[in-house]
Amino acid sequence: MPVKNIIPGQTVTKEKLQRARELRRDMTPTEKILWQELRGNKLGVHFRRQQVIAGFIVDFYCHKAALVIEVDGDIHDLQQEEDARREKVLREMGLSIVRFRNEEVVKNLSAVMGKIRELVAK
């Protein structure tokens, strides 16, 4: 059975697909909090979690809004160059990227959701 990709024209390796499945199974506590707010078209648009795009696995993706949401823990302080490279590739594809720190999601979920609502309404 062929793998159905939400991003047309990309090839996804079996390894990358397996890794995305593992990440969906083992979401961080903060990702779980945000997923509860995004799942089931609660914002009027469909989000996917741990979506492979251009060889990268993004935390959350809304195809209709061309929006990538990343939830950043402390590890991202150590990989800023890699994050910038990822963002450049994704932006060149016409995608918008928004990043939230773990602390933002945990301490101010309503503000995070407000920002996401603004972005999907554009």
Specify the pLDDT at position 8: 65
Domains observed in the chain: 14-121 (3.40.960.10)
* SS3 (DSSP) at 65: coil
Specify the pLDDT at position 77: 57
* SS3 (DSSP) at 69: strand
Per-residue pLDDT 10s for the chain (122 aa) are: 344 446 766 778 889 889 999 999 999 999 999 999 999 999 999 999 999 999 899 999 999 999 999 998 866 556 678 888 999 999 999 999 999 999 999 999 999 999 999 999 97
Strands (E), the chain: 48-53, 56-62, 67-72, 96-101
pTM score: 0.87
- Beta pairing class for 56-62 and 67-72: antiparallel
